[in-house]
Amino acid sequence: QKEVEQNSGPLSVPEGAIASLNCTYSDRGSQSFFWYRQYSGKSPELIMFIYSNGDKEDGRFTAQLNKASQYVSLLIRDSQPSDSATYLCAVGAGSYQLTFGKGTKLSVIP
Amino acid sequence: SQTIHQWPATLVQPVGSPLSLECTVEGTSNPNLYWYRQAAGRGLQLLFYSVGIGQISSEVPQNLSASRPQDRQFILSSKKLLLSDSGFYLCAGDSGDSTDTQYFGPGTRLTVL
């Protein structure tokens, strides 16, 4: 059974700091990796995707993928209170389905 | 870009009543469509997915069903709701290619009393 593991948190960081969110997955055949942000009571919003080993940067967000270690992470630089949300890691294997982690709750303290 | 519409936004239904939730997609032809449920404090559970009109795959046994009468329409139904059907129901779609990128609709919060 495919599994995606995330620390549930809450992860608390001060405003302006770097928030580091981590995710591990069990399926070595995984090909695509996603980070979604979900505000309380709202639906998940796609913020980053990565397919190749290494780093991918988009504004304040950097996704990091290490397929050998089956590990994907999301770094948020200059964290803002508006970044406070639950972050979902999702992994795909090209078979129409994504496997989601249960999410890490991030709290950015002003 | 793809836009997913869902309605209603919230719904309160008595146990034993029927259910119909609708999802429509704009901006993409031949999308793969998905129904998820998110219970309080739990992760996303995939309920159904569809790769085309009339094609439905079920991921978990339950008293829910799904139908796809049109390319961009996906419906979640139940004949008799249970208390355990309460949750946040999310429709998602992807572009039908191999990138697996899914986008979510705004969701329907269902409370069964």
Q: Please, which residues 49-108 of chain B have a Cβ atom closer than 8 Å to chain A? A: 49, 51, 90, 94, 98-107
Task: Name all contacts of B62-66 with Cβ < 8 Å and 24+ positions apart.
Answer: B64/B19, B66/B35
Residues of A in contact with B94 (CB under 8 A): 96
Task: Write out the DSSP string of A54-87.
Answer: EEEEETTEEEEEETTTTEEEEEESS--GGG-EEE
Distances, alpha carbon B65 to alpha carbons A46, A96, B56, B85, in Å: 27, 19, 9, 12
What is the structure's pLDDT at B98? 66
pLDDT tens column, A61-103: 999 999 999 999 999 999 999 999 999 999 998 777 899 999 9
Q: Residue B90: list chain A partners with CB under 8 A.
A: 43-44
| Structure token digits, residue A107 | 């709290």
| Location of structure tokens 């399926």 | A27
Query: Is B12 exposed, middle or buried, given 0-12, 13-18 or 19+ CB atoms closer than 10 A?
Result: exposed
Instruction: Select from B43, B101, B107 the Cβ nearest to the Cβ of A103.
Output: B43
- Distances in Å between the alpha carbon of B75 and those of B34, B81, B112? 10, 15, 19
Mutation test of the interface with chain B: which of A40, A72, A98, A99, choosing the one with the most B Cβ atoms within 10 A? A98
Q: Mark yes or no for CB contact B102/A46 under 8 Å.
A: yes
| Residue labelled with tokens 């919230």 | B10
The strand pairing partners of A76, in sequence order, are A19, A61
The predicted model gives A21-28 an average pLDDT of 96
A55: pLDDT strictly greater than 70: yes
Q: Is the peptide bond before B8 cis (omega within 30 degrees of 0)?
A: yes
Q: Is A94 on the interface with B (CB under 8 A)?
A: yes
Task: Please tell me which residue, A76 or B59, carries the higher pLDDT value.
Answer: A76
B29 close contact with A: CB closer than 8 A: no
Determine how β-strand A104-109 pairs with β-strand B44-52.
unpaired
